[in-house]
Amino acid sequence: MKNLKMKSARAAKDLSQEQLANICDVSRQTINAIEKGDYNPSIKLCIAICRALDKTLDELFWEDIGDM
């Protein structure tokens, strides 16, 4: 499932995938794969992304029943 919440939060902070990847010490391709729903990040990476985007785990990675 695509992670549109993460993509939206990244855009709201005016960060490119490359910039977020650098902050989180991963590749741009990893950020792209997470946003496309092709990769499930580790909890460590989820936390790094949340810190970079000033969001909680629930805000970015929790799936509402209505979203399924």
pTM of the model: 0.89
- Domains along the chain with CATH numbers: 4-63 (1.10.260.40)
Say yes or no to pLDDT of 8 above 60. yes
Q: What is the pLDDT of residues 16-27, one digit of tens each?
A: 999 999 999 999
Give helix 28-36 / helix 4-12 axis angle, nearest 10°: 130
Query: From CA 68, how far away is CA 56, in angstroms rounded?
Result: 20
Q: What is the pLDDT of residues 49-68, one digit of tens each?
A: 999 999 999 999 987 655 55
